[in-house]
Structures are given as structure tokens and as C-alpha cells.
Structure 1
Amino acid sequence: MRLKYGSCALVLPLFLAMTSAKADALSDIKSRGELKCAVYSDVPPFSSPDPKTRQLAGMDVDLCGALARQMGVKLQLMPTSVEARIAVIATGRADVLIANLAYTKTRGNQIQFSDPYYVAKEMLLVKEANANKTLADFKHKRISATKGTTSEQSIVLKGGKPVTFQDAASAFLALEQNKAVGFVTNTMTGMKMISQAKKDGINLAMIKEPMALEPIGIGMKRDEPQLLASVNSSLKAMDDNGTIDKIWNSWIGPDTEYKMVREERVQPLSSLKFEPLE
């Protein structure tokens, strides 16, 4: 009995020491003095190599830098692909992911999201003659989108008939060639495509009502409440002092080719009224 008691007496302090030594993600970031921020390796205007400096530049790169400064640490950018962006967070290779990341049910089960700093919208592009119609007018109609995207999901959500293609250019061409009555994409891409089509003599318009809402936030590993709280408070401070607006206007704002107006402020995801996509 004495031997068993002695063994427990030795093991218990060791177990407690190991438990206390396991720091949370925020403590790790603070102790190393560096934030590992994953961004796209080549998706302009969010993050792509600058032609002159060959360094990554873009809206998400600037947001990473601003977040690191707000948290009082240095920045380490970690380039990643669209396909690997969730895995780089779920496996802990990066601390945060800023990659125009929209909240969906599936992603919400894989990683945790910060409060959104803007809300992207899936929008329906149509020929100018249909500009004054509502989404209800396109129910059961053929609408094109890129295969496997949230754009495709939104067509189903609104009762349309998806006609999908491997890339956005082909889906957009289906609208131009009247193989579909509409084409779904996010607002930013849609604005750019409408402008490009006009140069080719094709007048398109965007239906005012969104097909779906997609809150854009910062991704982090699940079960890291301290990091989540720090990122959320940092985002709120960056919103209040105009940092996010400045970065937004520089890359996708009204005076850029994307002509995007930032309408929503940083707010809890739970405060938004939207139907999450899968």
C-alpha cells in the first residue's frame, strides 16, 4: 500500500506539471512574439505576389499586419492555397487564417470564426433587360455558377436550376450566350465582370436582392477561447479607429476597379440574420 501511495505521489505532480505546461494558443503567440497568419499564395486582390517586390501584397496581407500590430506582436505570413486553407488552421500550422473566409456550416464544424468584419453577398447577374426583376422571377430557371461553390448552393437555396461549370469564366459565358438566364458570383467579382462585359458591348445588371449572405471572418483552431476573444477585441478596435476601412478602400473600395462599399461593421456572428450555406 505504501508503494502504491508513493507512486501516486510522484505521478500526480508530474501530471499537474504537464497539464499546466500546455499553454493556450494566445499564450504561445505572446511568448514567441509572433503571429502566424495564413493567407492565399496567389489570389488578388486579397493576397498575391507584388510584381515589383515579389512579396505578398493585398487586402488580407494588410489585415494580417494590422491584426499583429493590434495584438502587439510581429507578423509571419504563411502562404496557402484555397484547398489547404482550412487544414492549415485545423492542424495548428498557422494561428489565424485571413483569406476572404466565409462562414459555412461545414467550416464552422472544422474551425472557429471571429466576428465577421464584412458580409459578402452572392449576387445574380442578368442581361440588362431583366434588371428590374426580382429573385422570385428566376425560380426554376437555369442559372449558371462555378461547380462546387457557395454560388451553386445559393441557386438551390432560392429555387433555381443550377447549370454548373468548372470555372467562373465558362459559367459567365453561359449567361452571355443565353444558355442561362443568370450567373451567380460574389458582389466583387460580379462588379468586375459587368464592367468587362460592357467593354465588349454586352450590358449586364445585378439583381438588388442577394442570393445568399456570407459573413467573412478570421479562422482559428477550435477550442481556443482566449485567442478568439483577443482577435475579436482587436477587430473591434481596428474597426473603431478606421484601420479596416482604410485597408478596404485601398484594395476593393469605391475608387478601385471593384467599387465595393463596406456596409457592415464588426459584429457578433449571432447578431446577423442569415441562412448559413453548407
Structure 2
Amino acid sequence: MSLRQGYLTLFFAIFAVFLNPAWGEDGKTISNIEARQGINVCIWPDYFSITYLSPRTQQLEGIDIDLSHALADDLGVPVNYVKTHFGQFMDDLEAGKCDVAMFGVGNTKARQKRINFTQPYLASNMYAVTTKQHPFIKSWSDMDQKGVIICVQKGTYMENAMRKSLKNATLTTVLRPNERELEVLSGRADVFITDYPYGQKNGQRL
């Protein structure tokens, strides 16, 4: 079964690199980087065109891979990648597993309480993805109905936006990104919400 992208704009999401608060406050993060002679960067390696581990080349690619290499070059150290995901990255930052997280993360008020952000450098609309066989979901207006289940990844910009937007549909959350597709393909959810890069990945792969 393949998925169909319902590419209709609902919200405009800003994505940014964000740093451990210690980076800008007392120089602790910079000192740690210099001491270990390397910068640890948290990424989610399934983020198509952002931080993506290509199955063909087994190499990381995407805009935040390029930018993290540029950051490491500026600091004069090699870059080390730490695998994480949206439901875990703030814990990883606070635990010192990485110095910076770079994988297209949206700036939200909840996240601002725990981490600092750089200036945004990437934007994306949000997109709905459902199956080709779905009997009635063809637009955003079709989704917000009683009995419709919409899936988002917990802790993402999409979760907060959909909670504010939905009036009738039921919102369900999952921890890991690929669980969204499984919820839709299994019939436990009618649609999942994502951004343009990840939606493009599903259009090509599923």
C-alpha cells in the first residue's frame, strides 16, 4: 500500500538549529568541545533532505549535515553525530550527549523553556498524508470531523499546532516518526501530519 500526500497549507512552521543553553551563557559547551576535540551533534537520521542516512550510499546527507560540517570547520574540530528523535533530543541535550541539535526543529514556547535557538533558516508548511484508498479525506476540511483520527509525533511543532486547530477530530500521538505511517497503514489513524521534506520522502519511498 502506498501513501498519498495531501499537500494543502494549514500552518507555516519555522525550523531552526538550537543549542544547549550553556553554549551562550558561560562557555561551558565550547570548553567541552575544545577539550574533547570534537563537536557532538544530535540528529534524526530519517529526516529526508535534512539529516538523512541514504540507504543507497550509507552516507548522511541534507542541509543540516552540510551546516553541521560548516560549524565544525569554524570551530576547527571534527563532527560526531548522535542519533536521537523529536521525543528525546531535549533530554539528550540536557544530559550532555550532544552539544547542539541540528535536524530542522521547530521553535515552540515549550521548547524555549529548556533550550536556546539560533535564528531560523528554514521554513515549511505542514502536510497531511493519507492512503490512496481513503474513502473521503481529500482536503483539510475533510479531516476535522468526528470519528476521524489524526496522528502526529509527540513533542513536535505539529502536535501543538493541531491541538490548537482541531475542533472535532481526535488527535493521537506516537513517540517515533515511522509509527505515524504504521498507524495510518494499519487503519488505526486516518491521516498523519508532517512537513514537506518528510512528506516528499514518503511520496518516493512508500
TM-score interval, smaller chain: 0.5 to 0.7
User: Considering only aligned residues, what root-mean-square deviation do their CA atoms show, in Å?
Assistant: 3.8
- 5+ long unaligned stretches in structure 1: 1-21, 198-278
Shift of 1:86: 1.6
Structure 2 residue aligned with 1:114? 118
Partner of 2:163: 156
Higher strand proportion: 2
- How many correspondences in the alignment? 168
Could you tell me how far 1:98 is from its partner in structure 2?
1.1
Matching of residue 87 in structure 1 with residue 85 in structure 2: no
* 2:8 aligned residue: none
* The structure with more radius of gyration: 1
Structure 1 stretch 138-147 or stretch 94-103: which is displaced more?
138-147
| Structure with greater proportional helix content | 1
Equivalent pair of 2:154/2:173 in contact (CA under 8 Å): no
Q: Which amino acid aligns with 2:77?
A: K
**Distance change in 2, residues 1:154/1:188 (3 Å):** same
The equivalent residue for 2:43 is 40
Distance 2:192 2:121 in 1: 26
1:120 CA displacement: 3.4
**The one of 160, 173, 197 aligned to 2:185:** 173
Contact 2:40 2:97 in 1 (8 A): no
Q: Distance in 2 between matches of 1:178 and 1:32?
A: 49
Q: Which residue of 1 aligns with 2:5?
A: none
Q: CA separation of 1:74/1:47 partners in 2, compared to 1, >3 Å: closer, same or farther?
A: farther
Q: Which residue of 2 aligns with 1:28?
A: 31
Residue segments in structure 2 that go unaligned for 5+ positions in a row:
1-24
Give the Cα–Cα distance (whole angstroms) in 2 for the partners of residues 143 and 33 of structure 1.
47
TM-score, structure 1 length as denominator?
Answer: 0.47
DSSP-derived class of the 1:110 partner: coil
Bigger relative contact order, structure 1 or 2, given CA contacts below 8 A and separation 6+? 2
Distance 1:143 1:72, change over 3 A: same
CA contact (8 A) 1:125 1:183 kept: yes
Query: Secondary structure in 2 aligned to 1:116?
Result: coil
Match of 2:46, SS? coil
